[in-house]
């Protein structure tokens, strides 16, 4: 996958982030509407979409754009796509409304169901996570650019360091609490950090967390970009049966429940599958 293409996508995401920040820092009262699926949408979501959709459509001839803020083509049409862009112009709209900064711009390139390139841009912090298959993953912020990779768990367990989880701020907390108890009984103390948007996957990618269990609904545009970063950094994103999370394989755009795993050499499957069948 082309590093030049990745840089082009980073630039487009940063421009979408600037459009979001214009609304975020505006003194006008934020107008929030509710979509058919009861999720919130703001003018910032739409402003970012208006930057992303046309710019991405011009990057690779004939590659369509699937955005949360646009009408979704039928599966009959989508199933013909080998490659396409999948976009969440503002992931974490609830966090945007709360003005806590935990929202992102997500763009991924899907090839035969696999996220092969992804960019997650955090407008408020001006931090960008990016990765593509075969090229590794990076984190770019005010201090510059650094390669990122997932961390090993075994050395941390040997030193009796805590296992670090990230979890959703608003979804599936009861089930995650049960999982934390299970992991603590096997591995020792667990520290759990709650936050919004796809930042949770990025924390695993950069080695700041060991596991992100998502035991509540998400859509494909919520995860694809950050999954590309995680996989480029050496981690995996798997469903409850430990199959790799894949895209555009069915009518619904809802993901199954999933786990984001940093250290793939650790036998998370035995521990997590025993949790799911408990």
Residue 110's CB: how many other CB atoms inside 10 A?
Answer: 24
Confirm whether residue 131 is marked as ligand binding. Answer: no
Kindly state the tokens that stand for 76: 């009959």
Confirm whether residue 88 is marked as ligand binding. Answer: yes
Confirm whether residue 145 is marked as ligand binding. Answer: no
Name every residue whose Cβ is closer than 8 Å to that of residue 250 and which is 6 or more positions away in sequence: 75
DSSP H stretches of helix in the chain:
3-24, 43-57, 75-78, 93-98, 154-158, 173-187, 199-205, 220-232, 268-276
Confirm whether residue 68 is marked as ligand binding. Answer: yes
Confirm whether residue 222 is marked as ligand binding. Answer: yes
Nearest-10 Cα torsion for 109, 43, 92, 251: -50
Confirm whether residue 91 is marked as ligand binding. Answer: yes
Q: Which residue has the tokens 């979409």?
A: 49
Per the annotation, binding residues for substrate are 68, 90-93, 222
Output the known binding site for Mg(2+): 68, 88, 90-91, 222
Residues flagged as binding site:
68, 88, 90-93, 222
């Amino acid at each position: 996958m082309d590093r030049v293409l990745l840089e082009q996508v980073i630039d487009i995401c940063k421009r979408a982030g600037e459009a979001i920040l214009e609304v975020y820092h505006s003194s006008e009262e934020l107008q929030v509407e509710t979509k058919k699926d009861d999720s919130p949408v703001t003018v910032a979501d739409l402003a970012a979409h208006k930057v992303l959709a046309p710019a991405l459509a011009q990057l690779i001839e004939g590659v369509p754009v699937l955005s949360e803020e646009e009408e979704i083509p039928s599966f009959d049409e989508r199933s013909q796509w080998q490659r396409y862009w999948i976009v969440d112009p503002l992931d974490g709209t609830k966090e945007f409304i709360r003005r806590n900064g935990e929202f992102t711009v997500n763009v991924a390139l899907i090839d035969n169901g696999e996220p092969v390139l992804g960019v997650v841009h955090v407008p408020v912090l001006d931090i960008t996570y990016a990765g593509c298959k075969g090229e590794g993953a990076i984190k770019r912020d005010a201090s510059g650019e650094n390669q990122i990779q997932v961390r090993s768990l075994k050395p941390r367990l040997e030193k009796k360091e805590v296992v670090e989880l990230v979890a959703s701020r608003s979804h599936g907390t009861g089930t995650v609490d049960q999982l934390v108890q299970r992991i603590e009984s096997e591995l020792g103390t667990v520290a759990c950090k709650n936050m919004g948007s796809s930042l949770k996957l990025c924390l695993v990618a950069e080695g700041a967390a060991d596991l992100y269990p998502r035991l509540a609904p998400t859509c494909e545009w919520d995860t694809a970009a950050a999954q590309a970063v995680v996989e480029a950094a050496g981690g995996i994103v798997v469903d409850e049966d430990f199959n790799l999370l894949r895209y555009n394989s069915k009518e619904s755009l809802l993901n199954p429940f999933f786990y984001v795993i940093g250290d793939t050499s650790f036998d998370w499957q035995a521990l997590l599958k025993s949790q799911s069948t408990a």
